[in-house]
Amino acid sequence: NAGVTQTPKFQVLKTGQSMTLQCAQDMNHEYMSWYRQDPGMGLRLIHYSVGAGITDQGEVPNGYNVSRSTTEDFPLRLLSAAPSQTSVYFCASSWGSTGPKGSPLHFGNGTRLTVT
Amino acid sequence: GQQVMQIPQYQHVQEGEDFTTYCNSSTTLSNIQWYKQRPGGHPVFLIQLVKSGEVKKQKRLTFQFGEAKKNSSLHITATQTTDVGTYFCARATSSGGYQKVTFGTGTKLQVIP
């Protein structure tokens, strides 16, 4: 059981280049999300999706696009990379939730992105 | 915004000492989740608290949810080098069955052998 798979593990981009970070999960989870992690800033939510065809913005969505055409995949697109997007990116998935109880997040291994 | 503040940001302890990290919110929380991230790794879910005043234990780890559901704590008794990592609290907010999870800034724990 693979869980949440992220590719690539490492990427170096030049300013202005575009790329897509891939995320796939095989747990049939409804909820998928992207976070970026920077020193001293914790994990900040970029975009999330509550099902195929449904996405919404998180805390820091600017500069990133997402789409959810299938339950399994949730790619994150950087259209024009900037040095401020240098970070570690994590994809996470979980079941949806009802009521006060949330569902635990399952994280991928992360993508370390450097923009020069 | 509805932020979750976490303190301290860093903590160095001698092996065998206790450690506590605190999570505080200005608004009432429906739940609080705790995650651990080992150096170079990804966050891993530890536990979730839902009820006011709830206390849960996992071996040397004790998790508490405040009576007012605005704060939470994670206490580690007699730390070991395997406890090294960053501990995050997180809140899951739901609307119509949908979930959004936002994280605190984390506490990085170093254990000195």
For residue B20, give Cα distances in angstroms to A28, A91, B40, B78: 36, 28, 22, 11
Q: Of A86, A52, A54, whose CA–CA distance to A69 is shortest? A: A52
Cβ of B100 within 8 Å of Cβ of A45? The answer is: yes
CA distance B47 to B92: 13
* Cβ-based neighbours of A98, under 8 Å, separated by 6 or more: B94, B97
Instruction: Tell me the nearest-neighbour CA distance from B49 into chain A, angstroms.
Output: 8
DSSP summary character for residue A40: T
Residues 6+ apart with CB under 8 A from A77: A18, A19, A20, A21, A64, A65, A66
pLDDT > 70 fraction of chain B, expressed in percent and rounded: 95
Q: Tell me what pLDDT residue A2 has.
A: 80
CA distance B87 to A42: 10
Q: Residue B93: its pLDDT value, please? A: 82
Res B1: pLDDT: 47
Q: What is the mean pLDDT of residues A91-96?
A: 90
pLDDT (0 to 100) of residue B60: 98
Lowest mean pLDDT among B4-8, B51-55, B90-94: B90-94
Per-residue confidence (pLDDT) for residue B99, from 0 to 100: 76
CA distances from A72 to A22, A23, A103, B24, B42 (A): 11, 8, 17, 34, 20
Q: Is the pLDDT of residue B32 over 50?
A: yes
Q: Which two tokens stand for residue A28?
A: 């049939």
> Nearest CA of chain A to the CA of B35: how many Å?
9
Q: Which two structure tokens, joined as six digits, stand for B83?
A: 């406890």
A-chain residue closest to B52, CA distance: A100
State yes or no: pLDDT of B45 exceeds 50. yes
- Comparing CA positions, the residue from A103, A42, A43, A105 lying closest to residue B50 is A103
Q: What is the pLDDT of residue A97?
A: 66
**How confident is the prediction for chain A on average, in pLDDT?**
93
pLDDT tier, B50 (very low <50, low <70, confident <90, very high otherwise): very high
Please tell me the distance from the alpha carbon of residue A22 to that of residue B40, in angstroms, as a whole number: 19
Q: What is the mean pLDDT of residues A86-102?
A: 84
Percent of chain B scored above 90 by pLDDT?
Answer: 84
C-alpha span between A72 and A78 (Å, rounded): 20
CA-to-CA separations, B5 to A63, A86, B25, B43, in angstroms, rounded: 26, 24, 6, 18
Q: So what's the pLDDT on residue A98?
A: 60
Asked whether the beta carbons of residue A101 and residue B97 sit closer than 8 angstroms, the reply is no
B81-102 residue pLDDT tens: 999 999 999 998 876 656 788 8
User: Three-state SS for A114?
Assistant: strand
Which of A10-19, A33-42, B53-62, B103-112 is least confident? A33-42
Which of A31, A59, A107 minimises the CB distance to B99?
A31
Return the percentage of chain A with pLDDT > 70, whole number: 96
Q: Rounded mean pLDDT of B56-78?
A: 97
- The Cα A89–Cα A73 span in angstroms is 16
Pairing of strands A54-57, A42-51: antiparallel
Q: What is the pLDDT of residues A49-93, one digit of tens each?
A: 988 999 999 999 999 999 999 999 999 999 999 999 999 999 999
Q: Are B45 and B35 in contact (CB under 8 A)?
A: yes
